[in-house]
Amino acid sequence: MHGNSFGAFMRHDETQEPPAIDRALLKRVIGYARPFRGQLVVVLLTIVVISVLSLAPPLIMRTLIDTAIPNEDLRLVTWLGLGMVAVPLVNGVFGVLQRRSTARMGEGIIFDLRRELFDHLQAMSLGFYTNTKTGELMSRLNSDVIGAQQAVTSTFVALVANVFTVVLTAFVMLRLEWRLTLIAVSILPLFIIASRQVGVRLRDVRRQQMVNNATMNTLMQETLSVSGALLVKLFGRAEYESNRFANSAAEVRDLGIRQAVIGRWFFMALGLVSALGTAITFWLGAVFVINGIITLGTIVALSAYLTSLYGPLTALANARVEFTTSLVSFERVFEVLDLPLDVPPPEDPIVLDKAAGALEFRDVSFSYAASAGAGLESVRRFGWGDSGLVEDVGQGKSGGWTLDQVSFTVLPGQTVALVGPSGAGKTTMTYLVPRLYDVSRGAVLLDGVDVRNLDTRSLARAVGVVTQEPYLFHDTIEANLRYARPDASLEELREAASVANILDHIDSLPEGLATRVGERGYRLSGGEKQRLAIARVVLKDPALLILDEATSHLDAHSEALVQEALERVMRDRTSLVIAHRLSTILNADLILVIDRGTVLESGTHRELIEQSGLYSRLFATQFSVVDDGAT
Whether the CB-CB separation of 591 and 605 falls below 8 Å is answered with yes
Higher pLDDT, 4 or 576: 576
**Residue (of 499, 629, 619) closest to 571 by Cα position:** 499
437: nearest Cα among 124, 120, 121, 118: 124
Counts of helices then strands in the chain (DSSP H, E): 26, 12
Going along the chain from its start, the domains and CATH numbers come out as 20-337 (1.20.1560.10), 359-379+394-467+544-630 (3.40.50.300)
More confident residue, 106 or 231: 106
Judge contact between 576 and 416, C-beta under 8 A. Answer: yes
Amino acid 485: pLDDT = 87
- pLDDT-derived band at 146, boundaries 50, 70, 90: confident
Does this model's pTM top 0.75? My answer is no
pLDDT band at 266 (very low <50, low <70, confident <90, very high): confident
> Is the pLDDT assigned to residue 319 strictly greater than 70?
no
Please give the Cα distance from 520 to 481 (Å, whole number): 14
Q: What pLDDT is recorded for position 590?
A: 92
pLDDT the model gives residue 446 = 94
Confidence of residue 407 (pLDDT cuts 50, 70, 90): very high
Of 281-285, 458-462, 557-561, 573-577, the least confident: 557-561
Burial of 393 (0-12, 13-18, 19+ CB in 10 A): buried
Dihedral (Cα; 519, 524, 528, 530), 10-degree rounding: 30
Q: What is the CA radius of gyration of the chain?
A: 35
CA distances to 229, 233, 283, 313 from 236, in Å = 10, 5, 72, 57
pLDDT at 196: 63
Judged against a pLDDT cut of 60, whether residue 391 lies above it is answered with: no
Predicted confidence at residue 275, as pLDDT, reads 77
**Rounded-to-integer distance, Cα 454 and Cα 476, Å:** 33
467 secondary structure, DSSP code: -
The three-state DSSP-derived secondary structure of 512-527 is: HHHCECCHHHCCCCHH
Mean pLDDT for all residues in the chain: 79
Residue at 554: amino acid letter = L
* Angle subtended by helix axes 188-224 and 226-235, to nearest 10: 70
Q: What percentage of the chain exceeds 90 in pLDDT?
A: 12
The residue type found at 133 is K
Three-class secondary structure assignment of 328-357? HHHHHHHHHHCCCCCCCCCCCCECCCCCCC
Q: What is the pLDDT of residue 200?
A: 63
Tell me the pLDDT band of 99, cut-offs 50, 70 and 90.
confident
Local confidence band at 376 (pLDDT 50, 70, 90 cut-offs)? low
With a cut of 90, say whether residue 380 has pLDDT above it: no
Higher local confidence (pLDDT), 621 or 249: 249
Convert 484-496 to b/e letters by CB count within 10 Å (16 or more is b): bbeebeeebbbbb
Residues 6+ apart with CB under 8 A from 458: 349, 350, 351, 352, 355
Torsions phi, psi of 163, nearest 5? -60, -45
pLDDT of residue 318: 64
